[in-house]
Structures are given as structure tokens and as C-alpha cells.
Amino acid sequence: MDKKNLIKENKELKSKIEQLENLLILDPLTKVYNRRYIEVELKRIFQEVSMIRGNSDRRTSKKGELSIVFLDIDNFKQKNDIYGHQAGDLVLKKVSSLIKNKIRITDKIARYGGEEFLIILEKSNQIDAFKKVERIREIISNKTIEVKGSSINVTITLGIASLSDEQSVEQLIEEADKALYQGKHSGKNKTVIYKQKSA
């Protein structure tokens, strides 16, 4: 086999490997990360940040900061029932694409399940995270999605949890989920920061 054909075959093989890797880590509908990948990635990032927090003066560095955000598209089932599943799929695609374009390249978004997404914000404390995602919430609530001649208004509710000392990754996920739950049950279309209840 000549060199030209060998180079061509090598490129094709690399392309197929890349496609297979994408199938393993990306949600097929929204093209953001899938739950399996983001859970592994969150554990890795959590360990790195925890080590940094243990070894340096985090007051002078954002490297020891980590926040995660659960977000849920409000009244999604109702939209599916009214406009159909194709419209629901389009809403999921548009919302995830908008969020992906509004977060930093170092941040990560994944479809966690159904209409729920998880965002990892490295080097972000509660206040940083709130400012970032509240801006996204406002942008989404002011947009309409056109589907077969209908304009669909979409809102999202978000729950934020930030890393504190002596906390596990499971606790961080649970806290973000509780903040989201609080937002969903207190009016929706809002961003809620998890606050530890005082004893």
C-alpha cells in the first residue's frame, strides 16, 4: 500500500474512533455530555479541587472553588402534551445549545435525564455561579421557540450547590438537587442557592 492510501486510511480510522468516542460521552439528541460521562468527570474534578483546597490558601485563588447546577425545563410534560414530542425534542436542543454557548469552554453541561441538565462550574463560588446561570435563565425566559407556526415560551428553574469543606461529591449533587426542588415548589422560573439549615 502506498503512502497516500495509508494516510487516507489513517484519517478515516481516526474519524471513526472520534465518532465512537462521541457516542460514549454525548447525549444523542442534544449533543451535550451524557449522564454517565458527567458523573465520572464530576468525581475527577471534585477530587482535584478538594486536593487544591487542602494544599493552598484558597482565599487568594479561585482554583479551590467548585459549583454545580441542576436545571429543569419548567412544565416540559405539558409542552410535550400540547405541541407533541418533536416540539419537546426541539425545546431540549435549543435550551441545551443556548446554555452551552453561554458558559465558558472550561465549564461542562450534560443532559442528566429527561428535561434535567447538570452544569459543572469550575473556579466558581456561589455568587459567581448565581450570576452566570441567572443571566442564562433570563435569556431563556425572554426567548420563544418557533415550532410549526407556534411560539413556545420556555422557562427553567435552577438549583446551585457549591463545594464546602468535608463534603462528598454525593452530598454536593444532593444539595443542588434540593435547591432545584425548592425552586420548582416555590414558583419555578428562578435560581435557588442551596443553604445549609441551621441546627
Mean model confidence pLDDT for the chain: 88
pLDDT confidence tier of residue 20, bands split at 50, 70 and 90: low
Q: What pLDDT, in 10s, does the model give residues 167-184?
A: 899 999 999 999 999 999
Q: Could you tell me if 156 and 91 are in contact, meaning their C-beta atoms sit under 8 angstroms apart?
A: no
Check: CB of residue 70 under 8 Å from CB of residue 120: no
Closest CA to 69 of 173, 190, 189, 184: 173
Q: Is 21 a catalytic residue?
A: no
Q: What is the pLDDT of residue 112?
A: 96
- Contact between residue 43 and residue 120 where contact means Cβ atoms under 8 Å apart: no
The DSSP bridge pattern shows strands 156-162 and 144-147 to be unpaired
CA 105 to CA 156: how far, in whole Å? 22
Write down the catalytic residue from 115, 116, 134, 170.
115
CB-based contact 70:118 (threshold 8 Å): yes
Cα gap 37→177, rounded to integer Å: 18
| Short-list 37, 34, 43, CA closest to 163 | 43
Element (H, E) at 169: helix 169-184
Model confidence band, residue 51 (pLDDT cutoffs 50, 70, 90): confident
Of 9-18, 81-90, 93-102, give the lowest mean pLDDT range.
9-18
Q: How confident is the model at residue 57 (pLDDT cuts 50, 70, 90)?
A: low
Pairing of the two strands 144-147 and 150-153:
antiparallel
Distance CA 162, CA 117 (A): 17
What pLDDT does 50 receive?
86
CA-derived radius of gyration, the chain: 19
Q: What is residue 71's predicted lDDT score, i.e. its pLDDT?
A: 97
- Asked if the model's pLDDT at residue 83 lies above 70, the reply is yes
The domain 30-193 is classified under which CATH number: 1.20.120.80, 3.30.70.270, 3.40.50.720, 3.90.600.10? 3.30.70.270
Lowest mean pLDDT among 22-26, 38-42, 166-170, 190-194: 22-26
Task: Say if CB 118 and CB 109 are below 8 A apart.
Answer: yes
Distances (CA, A) of 66 to 5, 74, 108, 123, 176: 48, 26, 12, 5, 12
